[in-house]
Amino acid sequence: MADLSDRSLTVALLLSFGLGFVSGWQANRLRRQFLDWRRRRLQDKLKETEKKLDLA
């Protein structure tokens, strides 16, 4: 195993942390978008069902 300098090790750790932070942030944004979409879809289905029940 090659000897790593302290500087390259620090850079590697900071880069790894930064990439993990950004990917987690993006994953959370996608999750929130999905949950908002699902909530809107379910609310629309509920409105349709309520209309059907009112007409019956």
Looking at residue 4, what is its pLDDT? Answer: 74
User: Model confidence over 1-56: pLDDT tens digits?
Assistant: 467 788 999 999 999 999 999 999 999 999 999 999 999 999 999 999 999 999 87
- The residue ranges of every structural domain in the chain are 25-56
In 3D space, the residue among 30, 38, 44 whose CA is nearest the CA of residue 52 turns out to be 44
Which amino acid belongs to residue 49? Answer: T
Separation between Cα atoms, residue 32 and residue 27, nearest integer Å:
9
Separation between Cα atoms, residue 16 and residue 5, nearest integer Å:
17
